[in-house]
Chains A and B, each alone.
Chain A
Amino acid sequence: MANIKALAPEALYRRCDPDELGFESTAELEDLGEIIGQARALDAVRFGIGIRRHGYNLFVLGPPGMGKHTVVRQFLEERSAAEPRPDDWCYVNNFQQADKPCALRLPAGRGSKLRRDVAQLVDECAAAILGAFESEEYQARAQEVEDERKERHERAFRELQEQAERQGVALLRTPAGFAFAPMRKGEVLSPEDFEQLPQEEQDAVERTVAALQEQLQKILRQMPQARKEAREKLRELNREVAGFAVGHLIEALRREYADLPKVIEFLDALEQDAIEHVDSFRRGEEGGVALPGMGAQRPTFRRYEVNLVVDNGATAGAPVEYEDYPTYDNLIGRVEHQAQMGALVTDFTLIKSGALHRANGGYLILDARKVLTQPFAWEGLKRALYARKIRIESLGQLLSLVSTVSLEPEPVPLDIKVVLLGERMLYYLLYEYDPEFRELFKVAADFEEQMERRPENDRLYARLLGTIARREQLQPLSAGAVARVIEHSSRLVDDTQRLSTHLGDVADLLREADYWAREAGRGLTAAEDVQQAIDTRIRRADRLRERVQESIERRTVLIDTEGSRIAQVNGLSVLDLGNFRFGRPSRITATARLGDGEVVDIEREVELGGPIHSKGVLILSSFLAARYAQDRPLSLRASIVFEQSYGTVEGDSASVAELCALLSALGRVPVRQALAVTGSINQHGEVQPIGGVNEKIEGFFDTCRARGLTGDQGVLIPAANADHLMLRGDVREAAAAGRFHVYPVAMIDQAIELLCGVPAGVRGADGEFAEGSVNQRVEARLLELARIRQALAERARDKDAL
């Protein structure tokens, strides 16, 4: 063997030299204005924001904690500051159709002015109208109208009465009206006396009375008409007086808003309405039921209010709005209701703006996941973006669930750029399944989780750390601390050539390191504080790892770290707890006997193995067949299992170990238990890289150290994983002292040689493997099995022949 060297200690880790960073503490460093390592995403954001076309909204994708929100917000705020302020929007009463309030657009700042102006106007109108109606002139003219009617009525009545008296007939008041009766000497003629009159006289009286009755009827019938006329006259008078009182007040406003035709229209309608409803001004309030206990309220003229839904008066530049609770209502706006005597009522003053209103003319940032989890929010957002209009419709209305009195506010034109932030998965799912999504969110900004680790990037990273520290009001970091963070950042992405751009994790680490530095009374966060932060974080999370290692130590879980065993290999697996990953050794065993060429994956049989694991086993069995049984049937039945595994196994990173166990079983070659193996195999016997290499090595190291390092122990890793090594300090120390080894292997033969301490063997010129090599033994055994099988088959045929 021995042509495979263990990796040198310095290859197990890529240090960052604090001296090369060129500073003592991050306090010396300038703030980092730019965003590092996200050139692609930033180009996309820049493009997406710059392009002013329908449908060019942005989806910023990347895992949470990448600082997407901060980056986008910073970007947008810088850009929006130079952009024009959008207009104000008001809703006002539609005097013709109260259920369809009108939207008014005014230049920024003039919305609130209009609201004040109109409120003041209404106050002034109320005073002016009250004054006008209390004036002597009005009182006199109104009295005149009433007097004229009464006078006319009374005159007619009096004339009739006089006429009746002249004809000897009295006009009597009956309980419900009037009656005529003939009169003699001031008294009504009694029926007996009337009988006594000559017939002609009786007839004459009757005729007179009938004629008078007719006249009276005429007079009485004219009364309602006369009253109506008088009311009409009074109304006309009221209109004239009110118009005069209100006209000049509104005229002043009209001049002020002459440049806004829709406002002028509103003022005209307001004037007409105020004149029509002059009585409500005279009563000092609007018509409606006065409730006990509510009487103390100041009378309001709600119908003349201006509901300012978007006020950009104090906005600088275009608005950048982030809606952290994007419900349908919070996005689109809503119409609220008030309970009034048990009924829900509403009007235009209860229209509330949504985030789309507030961000109109600017930018709206939303979390994709939140939008998607709020009922109908996504649909509502898309509809608004498609229509380029905000139409406020309650969900109840939308679904036709309720039919309370509601409003249909005039839609507001929408000019907005929406930036959705979300995980990659959401983006691809939406892209796949929502045809409208790709129409509306044409720009994707994909955030990179890693950046290249180069000396100049190290220095940028240091400035980034300094910036975060300042922003978070943390102590500055020493160069050593920065170096340690950079190293840890490499470890986070499992790559010596890369740094993590997951700023959330890094910021957490800085905060925790800062805490330990302050605990220790240091004014500068040092490397040991960073180390302590890392260690304590692991300590908090590693309960399960401790249990696992303990059970190995107590031999509840059987793992050998010394000696040699046939058909038994230490494999390595990684457990991911979400916030913490750790490795552990797993015993992999194999058996082989006569059979028809099948390699049984026991995990697969009991459905504890995932498809990739099964794939690994199938690859290794075809490798076996291709190498050792090219021209005869593979006459073996083998089974492979992860011992003491009670959960699912997934991934093909154990396929090298499995193959080694199988070869050991076939060739009856013992395997050194001081070594553990990880790596996946292909059909040509090449060892391919796997994930979690650091955790796996550390997992086996922990097991060995607990039992005492012998100096023989080590781990075989795929050679291609050598670049990913960022091992723990104690592992590195043991490696430097020659007490633990990491072997990079590229081919299965290298692995088997290391494991068995016997040459793997290559085919010589005669096509045979060298005598005593592992391959020779395996081939011989397979040949033997094939022969036995053939013999058995012949005997069976002979039996049949007999």
Chain B
Amino acid sequence: VTEAQELVFRRVLVALDASAHSLAALHAAAQLAAQFGAELAGVFVEDVNLLRCAGLPFARELGSLSAAARPLDAAALERMMKSRASELQRRMASVAEQQQVRWSFSALRGQVIAELLSAARGADLLILGKATRLSGTHVRLGSTARAMMARASLTVMLVQHGAELERPVVVLFDGSLGARRALGLAARLAGEDHRNLAVLLEADSEGEYERLRQIAEAWLVRCGMEARHRRLAQTDAGALARAMIAEGGRVLVIDGAHPVLAEDALARLMNVLSVPVIAVR
């Protein structure tokens, strides 16, 4: 792995929507920005679909609990979005000041995913909440998060309400270039202490495991690091979750190109994990 392959974070983008998950994302983002000396940029997208919908003459809102139909008032919606934006800005200011990072905040209007993708263009790392809704302990992957994982070309981190950026860090390693970059990031997140890093080696045979272990170790030695190693015979959501529990892992770092992050597999994985997940690109 060369220097060029190593991830550099100069600008961390956090997508905010005032949900509890996105606030957890904000905290994690500020923490990472502080660690990497990056600038923290917050973005809030006012959903144009919603605004348009509110403008339609027959628009009705059905209460999620009461199921009562209420008229959707475009002006009220606008006001709410404005106040939400200023509230988020204030939040961000306080969090960023706490971590002493440079920060900026922008409120955009448009299609959420498209706006986020375009905002992400200038950033190295996108952090967002796993979903917008808070519903019990099992948080299902939201549509925005799913779209960003699938379509963003930068490193993405998903955070769930209640989770914090902590150690130990667990990284999935299959020897690929992406995996090496993931290992690099994981090592930096873990810091000096080798007890805080666990490497999951995907190997269907003992020989393969040994080979991968040597690669990983050789790489880590150069950073002056050590890690625990664990063989992962198969890579699916369940196996990963079990390995995380076994290692006590608090953050999972994966190569963004890894099939476990593809569409349906991603949803399954995110349904069983409650810790932050970083997809490295």
Contacts and interface: CB of A to CB of B under 8 A. Distances in A.
B53 A220 contact: no
Interface in A35-67: none
B56 A181 contact: yes
Interface in A173-221: 173-182, 186-191, 194, 205-206, 209-210, 213, 216-217, 220-221
B58 A220 contact: no
A175 B132 contact: no
B62 A216 contact: yes
A598 B69 CA distance: 119
A434 to B, nearest CB: 71
Contact of B69 (A173, A190, A213): A213
A176 B55 contact: no
A204 B63 CA distance: 24
Contacts of B80: 175
A194 B138 CA distance: 39
Contacts of A260: none
Interface in B126-162: 132-133, 138
Given A173-B132, A173-B133, A179-B72, A189 B61 contact: no
B74 to A, nearest CB: 8
A345 interface: no
Given A173-B132, A175-B80, A188 B62 contact: no
Contacts of A187: 48-49, 52, 111
A722 interface: no
A179 B54 CA distance: 9
B52 A177 contact: no
Nearest to B110: A187
B225 to A, nearest CB: 38
A418 interface: no
A172 interface: yes
A170 interface: yes
Indicate the member of A170, A179, A221 with the most B CB atoms within 10 Å: A179
A359 B67 CA distance: 69
Given A177-B63, A221-B67, A172 B53 contact: yes
B63 A181 contact: no
B118 interface: no
A186 B72 CA distance: 21
Contacts of B67: 216-217, 220-221
A209 B56 CA distance: 11
Contact of A188 (B48, B66, B69, B132): B48
Nearest to B47: A172
Contact of B61 (A176, A182, A205): A176
Given A174-B72, A175-B80, A220-B67, A181 B62 contact: no
Contacts of A170: 49, 53
B58 A178 contact: no
Contact of B56 (A173, A178, A189): A189
A580 B211 CA distance: 115
A178 B72 CA distance: 10
A179 B53 contact: yes
Interface in A134-180: 150, 170, 172-180
A239 to B, nearest CB: 23
Indicate the member of B48, B64, B77, B132 with the most A CB atoms within 10 Å: B64
A276 B72 CA distance: 46
A180 B61 CA distance: 8
B135 to A, nearest CB: 10
B61 A179 contact: yes
A177 B58 contact: no
A170 B111 CA distance: 13
Interface in B104-125: 111
B58 A188 contact: no
B133 A220 contact: no
B58 to A, nearest CB: 5
Contacts of A150: 138
B69 A217 contact: yes
A488 to B, nearest CB: 93
A454 B28 CA distance: 109
A191 B51 CA distance: 9
Contact of A190 (B55, B58, B63): B55
A187 B63 CA distance: 23
B219 to A, nearest CB: 40
Contacts of B49: 170, 172, 181, 187-188
B174 to A, nearest CB: 31
A178 to B, nearest CB: 5
A480 to B, nearest CB: 96
Contacts of B239: none
A181 B61 contact: no
Nearest to B138: A150
Contacts of A179: 50, 53-54, 59-62, 72
B52 A178 contact: no
A177 B64 contact: yes
B62 A177 contact: yes
Interface in B64-90: 64-67, 69, 72, 77, 80
B52 A174 contact: no
A180 B54 CA distance: 10
Contacts of A176: 61, 63-64
A175 B54 CA distance: 12
B53 A177 contact: no
A189 B52 contact: yes
Indicate the member of B61, B66, B80 with the most A CB atoms within 10 Å: B61
B237 to A, nearest CB: 15
A190 B50 CA distance: 10
Contacts of A205: 58
Contacts of A175: 77, 80
A177 B56 contact: no
A176 B60 CA distance: 11
Interface in A195-253: 205-206, 209-210, 213, 216-217, 220-221
B130 to A, nearest CB: 15
Contact of A210 (B58, B111, B138): B58
B61 A191 contact: no
Given A172-B53, A187-B111, A213-B69, A177 B61 contact: yes
A186 to B, nearest CB: 8
A220 B62 CA distance: 9
Contacts of A206: 58
Nearest to B80: A175
Given A188-B53, A189-B52, A213-B69, A220 B64 contact: yes
A205 to B, nearest CB: 8
Contacts of B56: 181-182, 189, 191, 194
Contacts of A180: 53, 60
B264 to A, nearest CB: 14
B58 A209 contact: yes
A180 B64 CA distance: 13
Nearest to B143: A173
B273 to A, nearest CB: 17
B35 to A, nearest CB: 33
A213 B67 CA distance: 9
Contacts of A216: 62, 67
Contacts of A173: 132-133
Contacts of A209: 58, 60
A216 B61 CA distance: 11
Nearest to A195: B57
Contact of A213 (B52, B54, B62, B133): B62
Given A187-B111, A188-B49, 9 more contacts: A170-B49, A172-B53, A173-B133, A177-B61, A178-B64, A187-B48, A187-B49, A213-B60, A220-B62
28 contacts: A170-B53, A172-B47, A174-B50, A174-B53, A174-B72, A175-B80, A177-B63, A177-B65, A178-B61, A179-B50, A179-B54, A181-B59, A187-B49, A187-B52, A188-B48, A188-B53, A189-B56, A194-B56, A210-B58, A213-B69, A216-B62, A216-B67, A217-B69, A220-B62, A220-B64, A220-B66, A220-B67, A221-B67
The 9 A-B residue pairs with the shortest CB-CB distance in the complex, in nearest-first order: A220-B67, A191-B55, A181-B53, A188-B49, A177-B64, A188-B52, A177-B63, A190-B52, A217-B67
